[in-house]
């Protein structure tokens, strides 16, 4: 059984946001073994701004699942954890996105890896910096440290600090 390293972005801006993130992390196993967790950051909404602030976190995990079964597993988890159908960038109880899967580059109708907009999202890059600042994006060949220097991190603060 092959093991893969994945990086997941978690976000929540409804109800008890911190509890939602913790519950999502707990629900990842047994299909994923969490290897590292970033700090939690509070961030302004992105895309659609008329909604509560988000809490965001990035997780590094080991999994035996291939990319397509992994995304199906994650979408099932989101529904189990209470996510309801909404509009793009709208409020949500939990959101889990695959950022990286090993150094795989994949572009299908149902899945794009690495996440297509991660390089422009400070709310993903800041927590990713906590875990792996030297991780290199397999497409643009920039490290997390280099990408964050080019992104907007205004309004992103460690939660609870």
Q: Is 95 a catalytic residue?
A: yes
The catalytic residue among 92, 121, 130, 132 is 92
Q: Is 76 a catalytic residue?
A: no
Contacts of 143 (CB under 8 A, 6+ apart): 133, 134, 135, 136, 137
75-97-4 Cα angle (round to 5): 95
The catalytic residue among 83, 121, 130, 132 is 83
Do 93 and 82 contact (CB within 8 A), yes or no? yes
The catalytic residue among 17, 95, 130, 132 is 95
* Cα separation of the two ends of the chain: 41
Q: Is 92 a catalytic residue?
A: yes
The catalytic residue among 97, 121, 130, 132 is 97
Q: Which long-range contacts (CB under 8 A, 24 or more apart) does 100-103 make?
A: 100/5, 100/6, 100/7, 100/135, 100/137, 100/138, 101/4, 101/5, 101/6, 101/67, 101/70, 102/4, 102/5, 102/6, 103/138
The residues assigned a catalytic role are: 83, 92, 95, 97
């Amino acid at each position: 059984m092959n093991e893969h390293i994945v990086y997941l972005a978690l976000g929540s801006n409804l109800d008890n946001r911190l509890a939602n993130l913790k519950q999502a992390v707990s629900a990842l196993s047994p299909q994923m073994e969490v290897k590292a967790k970033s700090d939690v950051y509070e961030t302004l909404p992105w895309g659609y701004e008329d909604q509560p602030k988000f809490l965001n976190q990035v997780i590094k995990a080991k999994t035996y699942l291939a990319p397509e079964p992994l995304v199906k597993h994650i979408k099932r988890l989101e529904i189990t954890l209470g996510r309801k159908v909404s509009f793009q960038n709208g409020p949500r109880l939990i959101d889990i996105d695959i950022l990286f899967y090993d150094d795989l580059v994949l572009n299908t109708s149902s899945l794009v890896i690495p996440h297509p907009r991660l390089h422009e999202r400070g709310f993903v890059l800041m927590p990713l910096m906590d875990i792996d600042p030297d991780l290199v994006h397999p497409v643009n060949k920039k490290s997390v440290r280099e990408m964050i220097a080019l992104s907007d991190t205004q309004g992103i603060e460690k939660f609870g600090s």
